[in-house]
Amino acid sequence: MRPSLPPEFIALHKRNRIMAAFAELTAEKGYEATKISDVVKRAAVARKTLYDNFSGKEEVFLAAFDAAVDGMASRAEEACASVEGGWEAAVEAGLAGLLAYVAEEPAMTRLCLVDAQSATPASVERHEQTMQRFIELARQRLPREGPLPETVDEAVVGGVAHILSRELRHGRAAEAPDLLPQLREFVVGQYRAPLTKGAGRGR
C-alpha cells in the first residue's frame, strides 16, 4: 500500500494538474476548441473533481491565468531582490527570472500572454490588469529623476510582452533566455541617464 499523502496536498496537486492540462490544450488548439472532457482526460482526474474545483471552462482558464501571472511576477521579483547592486542589475535579474519561467512553463505563459487577449471578455480584462500591474512595477522600481515621458513604462512593458508573446506563438519558449542581453538593453536603455550633458533627461 502506498503511503498516504495529506488530502489537502492531493487536492492542490489535482487542481494544478487541471490548470496545466488546460493550458497545454489551449496552446495546442486554442481556447474555443478546448473541451472539459479533454482536460479531465489529460489531467487524469474525474470530471467531478474538476467541477468540485471550478465552475466551468472559463474559471479554469482564469485560475490558470492568475497562477501564471503569479509565477512570472514572483520569479521576477525574487530574482530582483536577490541581487546586490543598482537598478540595472535588478532589471537584468528580473528579466532573467521572467525568461526562465517562460522557458519552464511555456503553456502557462502562452495562455497568459497570447490566448488571454481574445478568449473571453473577463480574460481580456484580466490581461489588461496584468499589464497595468507590470507597468506599476516598472514605474515604482526604475529611476525617474529626469523628465522621462509618462508613457515610457507602458511602452517598455508592451515591448517586452510583444517579444514574449511572439516567441511563445512560434514555439520558441525554450530559447527565451537567450533574449536576455537584448531585452536588458531595450529596458535599461530607456531609463539610462544621458551620457552627454545638456538637454537630456538628467538624473
Partner 1 sequence: MKSLPRGRHGLSREFVVQNQLDRLLDSIAESLHEYGYDKTTVSVITSQARVSKSDFYRHFTSKDQCFLAAYDDAVERLRREVLGPCAKKDDWATAVVAALEAVLGFLARNPARGDLLFVEGLRAGPDVYARFQRVVHSFVCYLSDRAPQPAAGGAPGDCVAEAVVGGIASLLSRWVLAGETEEIEDRLAEITEFALTPYLGSAEARRIASRDA
Q: Which residue has the cell 495562455?
A: 111
From its phi and psi, is residue 85 left (phi > 0), alpha (psi between -120 and 50) or beta?
A: left
From residue 105, alpha-carbon distances to 64, 166, 201 in Å are 12, 15, 38
Q: Report how many residues bind partner 1 under the rule CB under 8 A.
A: 43
Within residues 21-50, the interface with partner 1 by CB under 8 A covers 30-32
Which is closer to partner 1, CB of 14 or CB of 167?
167
Among positions 43, 62, 114, 142, the unique one binding partner 1 when judged by CB under 8 A: 114
Residues in contact with partner 1, shown as a per-residue x/- string from 120 to 159 under the rule CB under 8 A: ----x------x-----------------xxxx-xxxxxx
Which is closer to partner 1, CB of 82 or CB of 132?
132
**3-state SS assignment for residue 47:** helix
Q: Where are the alpha helices (DSSP H) in the chain?
A: 7-29, 36-43, 47-53, 57-82, 87-104, 106-113, 121-141, 152-169, 180-191
Which is closer to partner 1, CB of 49 or CB of 190?
190
Which is closer to partner 1, CB of 29 or CB of 47?
29
Q: How far apart are CA 195 and CA 152, in angstroms?
A: 19
Binding site for partner 1 (CB under 8 A): 30-32, 114-115, 117-118, 124, 131, 149-152, 154-163, 165-166, 169, 179, 181-183, 185-186, 189-190, 192-196, 198-201
